[in-house]
Amino acid sequence: MRAFLFPGQGSQKVGMGAELADVSPVAREVFEEVDEALGQKLSRIMREGPEDQLTLTENAQPAIMANAIATLRVLEREGGLAIADKGNCVAGHSLGEYTALCAVGAFPLADTARLLKLRGQAMQAAVPVGEGAMAALLGADVEKAEALAEAAAQGQVCEVANDNDPTQVVISGHRSAIERAIALTKEHGIKRGILLPVSAPFHCSLMQPAANAMAKALDDCPPRGFSLPLYANVTAAPVSDPAEELGLLVEQVTGRVRWRESVLAMREDGMEDFVELGGKVLGPMVGRIDRDAKVTSVVMMADIEALAKEIG
């Protein structure tokens, strides 16, 4: 059984999608449709930068989605494979959950781009720049991270944001609380804490204004029926009901990304083969969660051709 995975923020880089766009009209169509939906030349920023423009949350989120959907569309139209036929479920990391939903027909491409643009803007606006922060805890399991976050909070917000894999947990909250947490890592048996280069504290309760904005946006543009079940970030469980998924997408803005648990749940449900489309971030995480899982990362045309040959 096979799961298709879609990456989240941090997987963006200048030049993303350029090779696909150069060789595939199908990929170019995706980038052009996203540009038109957003009323900006996002594809140019993806191809040429500058990097600081690409890493802006409101640009990075739709860019990562566009790159992954372009990869998927080339696989489907030029590789002759439909993920509804070749896959058993989908999952995405944070914004990747929207990409996954687009991939299985819950959102049209243009709507997905607009929702992610708004999501990025709302998340950036929720907390004044400099007041929030995130840190990656290396050599930490989720229990150690929770204990550290509780000790560092001291009346402020300091919460586990991403349970990525057995060796990496991300915390999020007020900047001073995150800095306290980094200083306390050794005392909690954690190898190291690294402040992340992000402009807002994602996936913690400080994001509530952004969750409110997404609730309104999703009420106006709700997900439709989808062709494969999706493992939701906040529950680490499969969902097939669009109305339920709408609520989970709102909850996701402030909630924990339970990626490690999601992968374990997919394995328990029989998934053996994990294919990451449009990035090389989730594949290594899956490998650290379960060494027996088969992992493939698909980014370039050669990767698409190899996958089409293997599973076609």
Q: Which residues carry out catalysis?
A: 94, 203
What does the alpha-carbon distance between residue 306 and residue 217 come to, in Å, rounded to a whole number?
39
**Any long-range contacts for 271-276 (C-beta under 8 Å, 24+ apart)?**
271/1, 271/2, 271/3, 271/88, 271/89, 272/1, 272/2, 273/1, 273/2, 273/3, 274/2, 274/3, 274/5, 275/2, 275/3, 275/4, 275/5, 275/87, 275/307, 276/5, 276/6, 276/7
* Helices and strands counted in the chain (H then E): 15, 10
User: Nearest CA to 203 among 270, 133, 147?
Assistant: 133
Tokens of 54: 């690409």
What distances in angstroms separate CA 271 from CA 4, 29, 124, 298, one per listed residue? 10, 32, 35, 18
Q: Specify burial of residue 141 (Cβ count, 10 A radius: 0-12, 13-18, 19+).
A: middle
Q: Looking at this protein, which amino acid is placed at residue 159?
A: E
DSSP 8-state symbol, 93: S
What does the alpha-carbon distance between residue 229 and residue 84 come to, in Å, rounded to a whole number?
10
What does the alpha-carbon distance between residue 66 and residue 182 come to, in Å, rounded to a whole number?
34
